[in-house]
Structure 1
Amino acid sequence: MSLLVSSWSNGVQSVPKDYVMPPERRPGDYIAVCKEIPVIDLQNDRSDIIQQILKACKEFGLFQVINHGVSEKMMAEMRVLYDEFFNMPIEDKLGLFAKTYGKGCTLHTSGVNYAKEKVHFWKDTLKHDCHPLEEHIPSWPEKPARYREEVGRYATEVRKMGFKILNMIGEGLGLPEGYFDRVSQEQYMAIHLYPQCPDPSLAMGIDGHADPNIITFLQQDQYGLQIQKDGKWMGVDPIPNAFVVNLGYTLEIISNEKLKSVEHRVVTNSSASRTSIVTFFSPSPTLPVENEVPIIIQPAKELVTSSNPPVFTSFQYKDFVARYLAFVCKPRPRNGTPLDPYRI
């Protein structure tokens, strides 16, 4: 367990050499917080909300939502719960530890594969699947004792909010009602702890990347998230009791590039640790039927016309995820995106 950053970083005076990013991967100079990122009130008129969401998805690939239906009390309880989890004695977390990012419930450090990294990220992550709950809850942490009950309720409420937003995106694009109910089968959570860092100019929480999935919902308690727009990095201001919503590559493909996924990264902090509670909605590798039909990702046929031909070819989601993981594991600098091989 000594690999976990949180197990040894408290009080260190310098960044260990295997956490020092090469100059081209460091966060750079001071990044201003962007004041233009849309904040959308989900209790407003539905037609207005849809237009605001579509505009945000086209311009930023990201927005924040308030009055979303997940109670302030529940969000506060999650912050307390994960503070307790990451502060538990090492022996209480041993059974969850894994050296690589994988299926099931795992606790790991840095990126996708610690052993193959030349330099590590200043981050520990607890990850587990959430849907269907009854299938996955038995693999979740047993401590703190209330973990399964509280996180189960939270996952249910975030799922309601998530499909409310996805359905509005679908309506705005002109897709059939319930389109995302079939495509977005999987839901999982990743809870990232970014401990205090003695020199944030040298270390990174996570490199710039866009998510491979459909859509992502982030609850954050401290500044650290940055997005890239028009070739420049800009900060995302944490708003109390809001969710940050960002689009993944899969939704960019389904929309036939009408909507954009967003490249984002996380910087470290010398004065406070940061915990982010992230929920991902994604296609499952196969349809939930006996013959295990592979999920095919492609531009929605409703959005393809003779004057608006498909931008991407069709492909199996599991193949795309494998290519994505291989791509993001490459060291910077690099050109292109994991979408390039699928462009027509």
Structure 2
Amino acid sequence: MTAEARDLVPEIRRGKIYQDVYEKRSPDRPALGEARLERARAVGELLDFGGSKARDRAFRDGVFLLEIPDELDVSAGDAFARQFYQGPDAPPYGRFRDLASDHFGDPLLGFHQRINQIEQFLLERRFWAATYPPEITALGESLTRLSRQVLRSVLAAVGIPESDWRQATGGCSECAGSYHLTFNHYRPAHEDIGLNSHKDDGYLTILRTTAPGLEVSREEHWETVPTDPDCFIVNFGLSMEILTASSRLPVAAIMHRVARQREDRSSFGHFSSSGCLPGEDEGVYRYVHGSGLERVCGSRELIDENDYEIYAGTDAPDAAGATSRADGRPTGKGAHR
């Protein structure tokens, strides 16, 4: 890797990933206006932005709106997001509150309450069919196929040879990467920001939200993202930023956060990352013109180091339903979802 290319790669080490944007991450920096995002629709194997200028802007921003395909029903996901945290007295999805990380043998998965307002149910694809009701598994698989469509369109646009796509994306170009579904609830009674500012670790995130609260950092200031019930919000992550930084059209990883919520807010999202099943980490790569793919780090390494920067760990609720910690230090790993 050339010195110039190396300078563009985030340093995947604790305390270093965000070293150039720590000031921007301060929760005291308010949002200044509304983000006007580019809008695309999925047509065949491609994304249609209505022109290359809009496409290039979306890639530089690291975020855009994607019209929800007519054949993709999001209603079950919306219902799950509204119920999963309520407990078994709220059928059919409230029972998932009782499935914590020990049920799956992975500290990233299951139900978690964070030190921010967010509480989540996060599950990796290999557990979907055995854990979720059929309608939620079907939603996850539909989003996986949509993610592949978006990703392949991006790879073609930035000029990475198709023969390198599978290795470059850890299988995501073939629906064979690591995928997570997260369902999120923001607790208005919990005094904190909705979710700390961060970049996602993977290639891209498909987010469904119908309530305001999401904010993005563009052009040196924060902006609110307007809600559109007919669109997903697609944002790119660190793996995509690393992969494309030396390409003809670099794609940014957008820094985003959720503002303090005064009312209940729910959302759900789908994450595409390089394959990192136990013992089968496919790694994160940079594409350098003239020399091809160069490995930067492990996929799980990127996830773990980024999570540490986003959360101060996961707290168990006390008897009153609030979270607490004795010394303010991390008690476990988060999952920046």
TM-score (norm 1): 0.68
2:190 paired with 1:189: no
Say whether 1:128 aligns with 2:123.
yes
Q: Which runs of 5+ in 1 are unaligned?
A: 1-23, 111-119, 141-147, 332-344
- Contact 1:57/1:247, CA 8 A, preserved across alignment: no
The 3 A distance-change label for structure 1 pair 46 and 96 is closer
Q: Distance in 1 between matches of 2:181 and 2:80?
A: 14
When residues 94 and 278 of structure 1 are mapped into structure 2, their CA distance, relative to the original with a 3 A threshold, is closer
| 1:275 has 2:249 as partner | no
Q: Which structure shows the bigger proportion of residues in strand conformation?
A: 2
Name the counterpart of 1:156: 141
1:246-285 alignment runs, 5 A limit: 246-256=235-245, 258-270=250-262, 272-285=263-276
For 1:278-317, list aligned pairs within 5 A: 278-285=269-276, 292=279, 294-300=281-287, 303-305=288-290, 314-317=296-299
Relative distance call for 1:194 and 1:174 in structure 2 (3 A) is same
Would you say the 8 A contact 2:198–2:257 is kept in 1?
A: yes
User: Which residue type is aligned with residue 130 of structure 1?
Assistant: R
- What is the aligned partner in structure 1 of residue 325 from structure 2? none
Q: Residue 12 of structure 2 aligns with which residue?
A: none
* CA contact 1:27–1:204 (8 Å) conserved in 2: no
**Are the counterparts in 1 of residues 31 and 221 from structure 2 also a CA contact under 8 Å?**
no
Residue by residue, what CA displacement relative to the aligned partner does 1:46-90 show, whole Å, maximum 9, x if unpaired? 58548367413433100010143553xx21232123323333347
> Structure 1's 30 and 305: CA in aligned 2 closer, same or farther, altered over 3 A?
closer
Cα deviation, residue 305, structure 1:
3.6
TM-score by length of 2: 0.70
| Mean Cα deviation higher: 41-50 or 184-193 | 41-50
**SS of the residue aligned with 1:237?**
coil
Residue 97 of structure 1 is matched in structure 2 by 100
Structure 1 residues 69 and 284: alpha-carbon distance in aligned structure 2, compared to 1, 3 A threshold: farther
1:211 matched to 2:215: no
- The 1:53/1:280 distance shift into structure 2, 3 A limit, reads farther
State the 1:95 CA deviation. Answer: 3.4
**Alpha-carbon distance between aligned partners in 1 of 2:55 and 2:268, rounded to the nearest angstrom:** 24
Higher alpha-carbon deviation: 319-328 or 211-220: 319-328
Query: Structure 1: how far apart are the matches of 2:131 and 2:308?
Result: 27
Change (3 A) 1:89 1:167: same
The amino acid across from 1:108 in the alignment is: H
What displacement does 1:313 show? 6.4
- Alignment correspondent of 1:337: none
RMSD, matched Cα: 3.4
Separation (CA, whole Å) in 1 of partners of 2:47 and 2:281? 35
Q: Following TM superposition, by how much is the alpha carbon of 1:326 offset from its aligned partner in structure 2, in angstroms? A: 3.2
Counterpart CA distance in 1 for 2:207 and 2:86 is: 21
Aligned length: 273
Q: 1:172 Cα deviation (Å)?
A: 0.6
Maintained 8 Å contact 1:38/1:56? yes
Residues 225-253 of structure 1: per-residue CA shift (max 9 Å, x gap): 00001221001111113111100000111
One-letter code aligned to 2:100 = F
- In the alignment, what sits opposite 2:11? none
Name stretches of at least 5 consecutive residues in structure 2 with no aligned partner.
1-24, 314-337
Map of 2:76 onto structure 1: 77
Cα deviation for residue 214 of structure 1 reads 1.2
The alignment partner of 1:280 has SS state of strand
- Displacement after TM superposition at 1:28 (Å): 4.9
Is 2:139 the counterpart of 1:106? no
Structure 2: how far apart are the matches of 1:189 and 1:53? 29
Asked whether the equivalents of residues 87 and 97 of structure 2 are also in contact (C-alpha less than 8 Å), the reply is no
Aligned ranges 1:159-170 → 2 under 5 Å: 159-170=144-155
Deviations 1:179-226 (A, max 9, x none): 54452211111111013358xxx6201111001111111000200100
Go from structure 1 to structure 2 and tell me whether the alpha carbon gap of 1:243 and 1:180 turns closer, same or farther (over 3 Å shift).
Answer: farther
Deviations 1:286-334 (A, max 9, x none): 6x9xxx564232212xx4248xx99x86222233333323333469xxx
Per-residue deviation, 1:174: 1.8
